[in-house]
Amino acid sequence: MPERLQKVMAQAGIGSRRACEELIRQGRVQVDGKLATLGQKVDPHRQQVVVDGQRLPRREPPVYVAVHKPPGVLSVSQDDRGRRTVRDLVPLPGHLYPVGRLDATSEGLVLLTNDGELANLLTHPRYEHAKEYRVQVQGQVADATISKWESGVYLDGRRTARARVTRLQADKDTTWLRIVMHEGRKRQIRRVALLLGHPVQRLIRERIGPLQLGQLRPGQWRHLSAEEVKALRRTAGRRKS
């Protein structure tokens, strides 16, 4: 049965649907020897799809892996400068790409999968799935500062969405916070913390939707259970109102 080309590509493990759409826009995809167009429908069993000169691979069995990304490791599948990535931590065959990026200096939970449809649902801004972080910042954080953080501050001329910020532990020099948020602007936690006068010293992502980091130590990985995959799919199918 014909399906949209970007969906077929995502299901084959090329990338998220948005990433596949961009490949089509860039003219890097052909169907039966002709340049593909965005929104085109194809039958993957009858038609030949070629991406960057390579025939679309057969659909691989779905793989879902949780990784504890250590600081200094990039949350991408590969790096053209040869730097270490989360993909290097997982010695499994096939094309796996990360869901939920973390900046290089942060650590914590990253999901690796070849399920492009699920990746798209978990990362698209309109779905706004909860993510939970444990964050160490400089100084003692006052209640008034926490209230400002929760209510939202202006970054790049636009107020951040409401978040939940809880003080976990404090001493005279640092404070540990738990932050639950549905928004994901680039380096958002670090930028908000700096704006409020409390630069981040350590940032650990502990949860993406229902998926927990658990007892994974930095650099470790594990396959998701069937129950975890089902929970992710249920969460991915719910759009936040």
Separation between Cα atoms, residue 116 and residue 213, nearest integer Å: 21
Q: Is 168 in contact with 136 (CB distance < 8 Å)?
A: no
Give the C-alpha separation, 103 to 221, whole Å.
18
State whether the Cα torsion 96-225-58-40 is positive or negative: negative
Q: Of the candidates 103, 112, 59, which has an alpha carbon nearest to the alpha carbon of residue 221?
A: 112
**Active site includes 103?**
yes
Residue in 117, 235, 133 with CA at minimum distance from that of residue 189: 133
Which two three-digit tokens encode residue 49?
């799809």
Catalytic residue, candidates 43, 80, 103, 115: 103
CB-based contacts of 61, cutoff 8 Å, min separation 6: none
- Could you list the active site residues? 103
